[in-house]
Amino acid sequence: MGEQIVFGFAAAGAIGFSALVVALPGPFRATVSLIGALLSVAVIFVLLAAPFVAVIQVIVYAGAIVVLFLFVVAYLGERPLAGVADRLARYQVLAWIVVVVLAVQAVVVLATTRLAIREEPKPVGDIGSPEAIGRSFIDSYIVPFETTSLVLLIAAVGAVLLAKRAVQMERGR
């Protein structure tokens, strides 16, 4: 029973902090909210008997990557948009329709799915060990793993190009 309560709080924290990442106007506060979301996910990993993944979640993501984000945000500072019109404003109604449709789909799926909590869960065995994680990456999930790394590389290159363009538009600031 206690695990279910902790899971509920961790899941609510992950969803709430993730919503704040998107909703907060300032990049610094959004990045700090990202730390809260990643820590909530780490708690969920602990509840799933994967302590190695939880520690990696905290060290790599909440520790290293988000701190890098914070350094970049602190280095660049707040930059106001210089009279640029929002090009996506005309799609705002369509975006809200998509959000409502997705919410209705989520309610329908949750209402029609039988979620059962087992009294005696299956033994986890060697699921969360570093060896099991490495074997699953190399054996079963090599294509999604490498695809994710490629997408992250493309995102990093795109972020550098966008930052370069912004600096050039400001005449080197």
- Segment 127-143, tens digit of pLDDT: 667 777 778 778 888 88
pTM: 0.57
Closest CA to 49 of 130, 138, 129, 133: 129
Does the residue 71 lie in any domain? yes
Q: Judge whether 67 lies within some domain.
A: yes
Residue type, 47: L
Residue 121: inside a domain: no
Helix (H, G, I), strand (E, B) or coil at 66: helix
Count of domains forming the chain: 1
The answer to whether residue 47 sits within a structural domain is yes
The more confidently predicted of residues 160 and 15 is 15
**Domain assignment present for 167:** no
Residue 173 has pLDDT above 60, yes or no: no
pLDDT of residue 11: 93
Are 58 and 36 in contact by the 8 Å Cβ rule? The answer is no
pLDDT above 70 for 115: no
Residue 35, pLDDT > 70, answer: yes
* pLDDT for the residue numbered 80: 63
Domain presence at residue 33: yes
Q: For the domain that residue 66 is a member of, what is the CATH number?
A: 1.20.120.1200
The answer to whether residue 109 sits within a structural domain is no
Question: Does any domain span residue 74?
Answer: yes
Structural domain boundaries enclosing 39? 1-79
pLDDT band (50, 70, 90) for residue 81: low
